[in-house]
Structure 1
Amino acid sequence: MADSAINLETRIFKEIDRIERNRRAIRVWLFLVLLAIFALVLVGGATRLTDSGLSITEWKPIHGVIPPLNAEEWQEEFALYQRIPEYSQINKGMTVEEFKRIFWWEWAHRLIARSIGVIFAVPLAFFWLTGRLERRLRWPLVGILALGGVQGAIGWWMVASGLSKRVDVSQYRLAIHLTVACLIFAAVTWVWRALSAHSGRVLVGTGASLFAGVIVFFILLQIYLGALVAGMDAGLAYNTWPLMDGAIVPDGLTVMQPVWLNAFENAKAVQWLHRMNAYLLLTLALIQMIALLARHPGTPHANRGVVFFLLVGLQAAVGIGTLLMAVPIDVALTHQGLALIVLGFGVAHWRGFHGEYARPIDVAVRS
């Protein structure tokens, strides 16, 4: 009996070690995926800010990896671009060399997107087929992969909106494209954080946990509104703060009918909503920090609440700077990158109230 108990204990310890090693490997993989998505969003932002998003007028998921390789192929690609309204109405007279500068931004954006598909799918298959992936992780990760495929189609749907009648892409489709990218980023962050050890007391189902989830919703809403601002170039107007057009609540916010249309197509209203939601988000972060410090002092939850508030405050400051400087590309990309950092930290903070998926020892015992 003693030998059996020792053998069982030995097997359990070996299984715990195996689970911990597998989780470390999966966390490293998911962190690399997060870095790749972060790079993709930044390059996508640069593509938008340099007006490069319509430079590639065809969707070739496989063949499109290869750029033009000689002067003849460059001329063919340029000829396709010359057929769309953006060229005839905005860039008429552009040379091939000037075209190359906008082409490379869009090509890099699409290449990174394709690479993420490989970076995600191949290790997922490896971990699954070699038994390194815990059962509860399989379908959530497959769901993220499927959402990535949908995102590729959304990207082309967005580009297609600017190829026939418009000289830019639809702000609706741009906002959807960026928001889905952020949803994928958030989902990967959730799984990555759930596989990490948690030192704080589990508070799932409490007011603190629910409030953190509400904050994540408003972060995503702020990113969506920011995409509408970018899609309409609304950040290039009303470059004053704290007043906008001379007032906190300026005139002209409801000039369109029906009224709800102003939230999507009235540049002044869209920028104002982006500002107001930023104030709301900063207020929510402050309330959360104060509540956590009062109710759970000294805990990792409270410490994260402080860091999160500081991140949101920093993002607000960069956003104001972006506006006052009329959207210089370097500051605008910093603002966009910080938005992803705020989102990632907000999701990880929310997940921290739930505890890890299951302790390695519990998984080992069950197996």
Structure 2
Amino acid sequence: MSEASVESGLTRGMSSTSRKWVGGWLGLCSAWVFSMVVLGGITRLTRSGLSMTEWKFAGERPPLNHEDWVKEFAKYKQSPEFKKVNLGMSLEEFKFIYWMEYGHRMWGRVLGLVFGLPFAYFAATRKLSAPLTRRLGLLMLMGGGQGLVGWWMVKSGLKEPTEYQYDVPRVSPYRLAAHLTSAFVIYSGLLWTTLSVLMPKTPMQLAQELHAAGSGVISGGRRLGRHLGLYAVLVSLTAVSGAFVAGLDAGHAYNTFPLMGDPGRVFPADYWGHEGGDWGDWAGLDPADRVSRILANTFENTCAVQFHHRVLAVTTLLASTSLFLIHRRSPLPNHSATLLKVLCGMAWCQVGLGITTLLNYVPVHLGSAHQAGALTLMSVALASIYCTRPLKAAQAASRGAQAVLGRTVA
């Protein structure tokens, strides 16, 4: 089979050597974004994210001597977090949270160079196809915008809380969710593009490879692919709900499972508010006010936010197990069958890790591992979808090849 026959639309015209180098580079960038997400989680869990009160596009110079540290610490002392949470913090303790946030920011800026410089080289030397160049340009713009979204998020935590006098300063959960969702989208785009570059098989090639495996393999894989699409949506919703849990520090409340509250209930008594109200208390409200209250309760009530994350996580686990049980005896391509097992196993590990994190009041090592687990589960889901995506076209190509063969024989 000629090299041209295995090209996909995204890599059309690229040599096998170019695909190898570009795919390796994109794989490195995907791993880098993964590490950025994990490092961001550690920064949040150590309450380091508000230690730097300024943001500069070109990057901030870190303190280099004692005088610099005193000046930087003085800026932090003006922030609401210092006044209400860290009033007794020493300079040495401040240095730790400062370096955590500084490292997170600089790691992101170095990623910009790791992505941007090779991209410029590959584009200038015409080693990229036009469709791939456009996609990578979009991903680079999204990556640049991610830094702005991060600062937009941090700014919300540098303001004095206005609703309650003794509120703990924290970033807006909406902005935190936007920042994390954006990171997941960038990572997913990079991972998908990496797979497209490294495994650019055409439907005709795939049809030829699957022909020897039996006629049911393509239909079984297509059926799995349809289910995986819905599953990926569920995983995404669970991850976004986890961002709201993080934004409200909801993991430090209701640290029992499966029951919540005191007395313990599956559906918690505080779901409609800390006063133990219920839906009937809102029955007399104006419809617009009722909708506003529902939305606020959904995304701002600690109890409701954690309950939703629990329900989505358990639903994801049940969906993973169901996928495995439904398709484990179906004729599938070998790689799809393997990924299906990994997907189910990873879902069980992630839910178990989440429960352990909750019961232990979210220690840093477990909380960051749980966030990494969410991204790992998304990675396996994307890889599974990618492996089944060409099967519909492969079936059509196989039918076309059979038709041509029939006319030739006739």
TM-score range, shorter chain: 0.7 to 0.9
Identify the residue that residue 283 of structure 1 maps to in structure 2: 318
1:175 equivalent in alignment to 2:177? yes
Q: 1:36 touches 1:116 (CA, 8 Å); kept in 2?
A: yes
Q: Deviations over 1:7-41 (max 9, x none)?
A: xx89999x999721111111111111112112111
- Bigger drift between 157-166 and 247-256 goes to 247-256
Root mean square deviation, CA, Å: 2.7
Partner amino acid for 2:226? L
Identify the residue that residue 211 of structure 1 maps to in structure 2: 227
Q: 2:13 touches 2:129 (CA, 8 Å); kept in 1?
A: no
Superposition deviation, residue 113 in structure 1? 0.9
Identify the residue that residue 265 of structure 2 maps to in structure 1: 247
Identify the residue that residue 131 of structure 2 maps to in structure 1: 136
Structure possessing the higher radius of gyration over alpha carbons = 2
Q: Deviations over 1:91-118 (max 9, x none)?
A: 1132221111110010011011111111
Q: Deviations over 1:69-92 (max 9, x none)?
A: 111111111111111111111111
Superposition deviation, residue 270 in structure 1? 0.6
Distance 1:11 1:238 in 2: 58
Distance 1:310 1:11 in 2: 38
Superposition deviation, residue 335 in structure 1? 0.8
Identify the residue that residue 342 of structure 1 maps to in structure 2: 377
1:52 equivalent in alignment to 2:48? yes
Q: Deviations over 1:25-76 (max 9, x none)?
A: 1111111111211211111111111111010011112141x21111111111
Q: Deviations over 1:241-282 (max 9, x none)?
A: 122221211222123861222221111111110010011111
* Secondary structure class of the residue paired with 1:317: helix
**Number of residue pairs aligned between Structure 1 and Structure 2:** 348
Q: 2:14 touches 2:129 (CA, 8 Å); kept in 1?
A: no
From 100, 107, 113, give the equivalent of 1:118. 113
Residues 195-206 of structure 1 mapped to structure 2, 5 A cutoff: 195-197=197-199, 206=222
Going from structure 1 to structure 2, the CA distance change for 1:17 and 1:260 (only over 3 Å counts) comes to closer
Identify the residue that residue 26 of structure 2 maps to in structure 1: 30
* Secondary structure class of the residue paired with 1:111: helix
* Secondary structure class of the residue paired with 1:93: coil
Residues 44-83 of structure 1 mapped to structure 2, 5 A cutoff: 44-64=40-60, 66-83=61-78
Distance 1:308 1:163 in 2: 40
- Bigger drift between 287-296 and 66-75 goes to 287-296
Superposition deviation, residue 295 in structure 1? 3.0
Partner amino acid for 1:152? G
* Secondary structure class of the residue paired with 2:329: helix
Identify the residue that residue 145 of structure 2 maps to in structure 1: 150
Superposition deviation, residue 205 in structure 1? 10
Partner amino acid for 1:123? P
Partner amino acid for 2:151? W
Distance 2:352 2:186 in 1: 26
Q: 1:203 touches 1:354 (CA, 8 Å); kept in 2?
A: no
Residues 82-93 of structure 1 mapped to structure 2, 5 A cutoff: 82-93=77-88
1:106 equivalent in alignment to 2:122? no
Distance 2:70 2:57 in 1: 21
Identify the residue that residue 6 of structure 1 maps to in structure 2: none
Partner amino acid for 1:282? L
- The gaps in structure 2 that reach 5 residues or longer are 162-168, 211-217, 278-289, 394-410
Distance 2:154 2:19 in 1: 38
Going from structure 1 to structure 2, the CA distance change for 1:196 and 1:63 (only over 3 Å counts) comes to closer
Q: What percentage of residue pairs aligned between the two structures are identical?
A: 36
Identify the residue that residue 396 of structure 2 maps to in structure 1: none
* Secondary structure class of the residue paired with 2:153: helix
- The gaps in structure 1 that reach 5 residues or longer are 1-8, 359-367
1:163 equivalent in alignment to 2:154? no
Going from structure 1 to structure 2, the CA distance change for 1:51 and 1:239 (only over 3 Å counts) comes to same
Distance 1:158 1:143 in 2: 22
Partner amino acid for 1:54? L
Going from structure 1 to structure 2, the CA distance change for 1:193 and 1:298 (only over 3 Å counts) comes to closer
Distance 2:219 2:170 in 1: 46
Q: Deviations over 1:139-173 (max 9, x none)?
A: 11111111111211110000000112231111111
* Secondary structure class of the residue paired with 2:235: helix
Distance 2:26 2:229 in 1: 22
Q: 1:204 touches 1:353 (CA, 8 Å); kept in 2?
A: no
